């Protein structure tokens, strides 16, 4: 990640400008298509990020790309903002943050769930139901496999980490033994 804090700020700004689910879906799809195009090309991101290429030339390149399928006004303005501040390099990180922030805005809490092995559907459903009961809100669980975990789970919600892994328990036991 280049700059997750910066990407999150841009993502928050974008989500704040969106008002309806349909608008969110359209803008996100348009930005994702542009992000995919940037990832697929080796030279295009270099040209757009180069301080030696004049802004007018960069704008013209983007307009030529978008001419095939003109984006919505909000998408075009957001891209102009990224170009004006030479921040197109964080678009991929912005695109990762936007769906989570949109869900958050809708009242859905997001948890990152790390486990050593993939959870069964029944385990996932029990975990989701338990977290919804504790949070009092709907939750979205983003599952990831972490081969570094010996067993158990590690949950993350924003900056708060709930460690129910064997590795975490061993670390707590070690700390208690050190403290005496």
For the segment 145-163, what is each residue's pLDDT rounded down to a tens digit? 988 887 888 888 878 888 8
Residues 51 and 121 in one domain: no
Residues 32 and 121 in one domain: no
Domain with 63 in it: what CATH number? Answer: 1.10.520
Name which of 100, 96, 92, 152 is nearest 127 in CA terms.
152
Show the domain range for 138: 107-179
Residue 75 has φ and ψ, to the nearest 5°, of -65, -45
Q: What is the pLDDT of residues 92-108, one digit of tens each?
A: 999 999 998 999 898 89
* Residue that is last in its domain, among 68, 103, 138: 103
* Rounded mean pLDDT, 1-16: 86
* Residue that is last in its domain, among 103, 124, 159: 103
Q: How far apart are CA 141 and CA 108, in angstroms?
A: 10
Residues 133 and 53 in one domain: no
Q: How far is CA 1 from CA 77, 93, 96, 163, in A?
A: 24, 7, 11, 24
How many distinct structural domains can be found in the chain? 2
pLDDT at 137 over 90: no
Predicted TM-score of the model (pTM): 0.70
Residues 93 and 111 in one domain: no
Residue with tokens 């978008």: 66
Residues 98 and 116 in one domain: no
Residues 86 and 125 in one domain: no
Residue 21 banded pLDDT, cuts 50, 70, 90: very high
Do the Cβ atoms of 156 and 140 come closer than 8 Å? Answer: no
> Six-digit token pair at 128?
């989701």
Beta strand spans in 15-138 (E): 109-115
Residues 54 and 91 in one domain: yes
Residues 99 and 13 in one domain: yes
| pLDDT, position 177 | 85
Name which of 39, 175, 58, 163 is nearest 113 in CA terms.
163
Q: Give the three-class secondary structure for 65.
A: helix
> Six-digit token pair at 147?
């081969």
Q: Which residue has the higher pLDDT, 9 or 42?
A: 9
Q: What is the largest CA-CA distance in the chain?
A: 69
């Amino acid at each position: 990640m280049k700059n997750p804090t910066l990407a999150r700020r841009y993502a928050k700004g974008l989500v704040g400008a969106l008002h309806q689910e349909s608008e969110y879906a359209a803008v996100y799809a348009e930005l994702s298509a542009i992000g995919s195009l940037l990832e697929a090309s080796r030279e295009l991101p270099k040209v757009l990020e180069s301080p030696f290429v004049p802004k007018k030339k960069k704008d013209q390149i983007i307009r030529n790309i978008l001419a095939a399928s003109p984006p919505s006004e909000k998408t075009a303005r957001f891209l102009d903002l990224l170009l004006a501040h030479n921040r197109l390099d964080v678009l991929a990180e912005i695109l990762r943050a936007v769906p989570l922030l949109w869900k958050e805005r809708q009242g859905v809490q997001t948890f990152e769930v790390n486990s050593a092995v993939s959870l069964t559907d029944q385990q996932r459903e029990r975990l989701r139901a338990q977290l919804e009961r504790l949070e009092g809100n709907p939750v979205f669980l983003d599952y990831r496999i972490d081969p570094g975990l010996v067993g158990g789970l590690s949950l993350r919600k924003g900056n708060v980490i709930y460690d129910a892994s064997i590795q975490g328990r061993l670390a707590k036991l070690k700390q208690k033994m050190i403290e005496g």
